[in-house]
Amino acid sequence: MVRVKICGIRTWEEAKMAVDAGAHALGFVFASSPRRINPEAAREIILRLPPFVARVGVFVNQPRYEVQEIASFCNLQALQFHGDEDPAYCQRWPGYQVIKALRVGADFAPGAAGSYPVDAVLLDAYVAGKYGGTGESFNWDAAVAVRERVDCLILAGGLNPDNVRLAAEKVRPYAVDVSSGVEEGGAKCRAKVERFMQQVLGAC
């Protein structure tokens, strides 16, 4: 079964919408982004989540002490590093699962994914000057190549209710990750979230 992470959660209403639709994980962005949330607001949402919904913090090139403070305060389960963090940075995060996001551009080398000592690798589209949430997609052949090199692959980058089933069937990732693809006017849209989940389930 392909799992689903809804990223860029900013309100309890969005979180509940995603959970009610069957999302397996929620992402909270603590880096510069239109979807950034402050730790206090994220903590309030996380404390209300039901069991078995994974809580993922998204960070971009942030000091280790800052990540540790936020992770502990918000009771996160997983840390997603979505910037230029190197393999050494991704090591030694006891108590947390670690996801390293890699951006797929023209010069992307699938073999590089295997150099990160992490629990999962997430692939996103490369867009100059941006670290995610762009709504841009990439050639999924690169994802297929990475899947053969890592134990756990999460597919992101331009996924939406219209293409996620095809992506899941082609790549067969452990999970898919969506943010802007289920939004309307900058906020999570219930109809899009529900349709996205239905399409993923249809691919299983």
CATH of the domain at 173: 3.20.20.70
6 falls in which pLDDT band (50, 70, 90)? very high
Closest of 86, 84, 90 to residue 31, by C-alpha: 84
Dihedral sign, Cα of residue 39, residue 41, residue 45, residue 48 = positive
Q: What is the mean pLDDT of residues 1-25?
A: 97
Could you report the per-residue pLDDT of 38-87, keeping only the tens digit for each? 999 999 999 999 999 999 999 999 999 999 999 999 999 999 999 999 99
Can you give the pLDDT at residue 142? 93
Alpha-carbon distance 126 to 43, whole Å? 30
Can you give the pLDDT at residue 38? 98
Catalytic site includes residue 124 = yes
DSSP 36: B
pLDDT, averaged across the chain: 94
Catalytic site includes residue 204 = no
138 falls in which pLDDT band (50, 70, 90)? confident
**What is the domain count for the chain?**
1
Could you report the per-residue pLDDT of 101-119, keeping only the tens digit for each? 999 988 899 998 999 999 9
Catalytic residue among 7, 74, 90, 177: 7
pLDDT of 134 higher than 80: no
| Rg from Cα positions in the chain | 16
Name the residue range of residue 185's domain. 3-203
pLDDT of 11 higher than 80: yes
Catalytic residue among 20, 90, 119, 124: 124
DSSP 151-165: S-EEE-SS--TTTHH
For residue 50, give the amino acid letter.
P
